[in-house]
Copies of this chain bind each other. A is one copy, B any other.
């Protein structure tokens, strides 16, 4: 049961995260300022430290927040389509849309790790794995349904051990080579999205980025063996 004090505390903490999110969008992660957030709350800067131990802790909160929202977006996007290939495409589109709508939060999570700051694994790994877990489940289901052409290449011995460990942990029937394919489909997806969001393509090189993305998705899905 939450006391009134606890509820008030949680509410202003929520406000802090919201203001941080706004500021992130405006000025980016590195110029995120606790003092500015304090001003937004009508408090003095030191008061914010009652709620957040440091700037880094605020960053952690924002990272978890972003992971959760992206994970949620992907999971609900996947729910609809009937076959695995369309599910992968839906996941890809969900990632891209969220990233384009929230470039700063995407950058916070998938861009340069904030200098000096190292995300505490116990808080971030859970939310951070939602997307890859969702993708792997798609591939696992595809394999069960016989809709996955597992690549002929056999992973090297050490990689094989890693993959088997993961398959065991998540109770996957998916063979290691299929899991490796899922990982490539994952990293390839984020490579494509990151290049677009971070402006790595030139200014006007691609006037039809969504069509390029479509092409990339198709290539990645085929490469991963999704029929």
A62 CB within 8 Å of chain B? no
A206 partner, pick from B28, B162, B214, beta carbons under 8 A: B162
- Residues of A171-227 at the interface with B, using a CB-CB cut-off of 8 Å, are 180-181, 183-184, 187-192, 194-195, 198-200, 202-203, 205-208, 211-212, 214-216, 218-220, 222-224
Chain multiplicity (copies): 2
> A interface, how many residues as a size bin?
35 or more
Neighbouring B residues of A199 by C-beta, 8 Å: 113
A158 partner, pick from B111, B116, B208, beta carbons under 8 A: B208
A119-140, CB under 8 A of B: which get 1 and which 0?
Answer: 0010001001100000000000
9 contacts between A and B (CB under 8 A): A113-B199, A157-B211, A159-B208, A180-B215, A181-B219, A183-B212, A184-B215, A188-B220, A219-B224
**A interface residue numbers (CB < 8 A to B):** 27-31, 107-108, 110-116, 121, 125, 128-129, 151, 153, 155-159, 161-162, 166, 180-181, 183-184, 187-192, 194-195, 198-200, 202-203, 205-208, 211-212, 214-216, 218-220, 222-224
Name the 6 nearest CB pairs between A and B, nearest first.
Answer: A191-B191, A28-B115, A111-B112, A223-B223, A158-B208, A30-B30
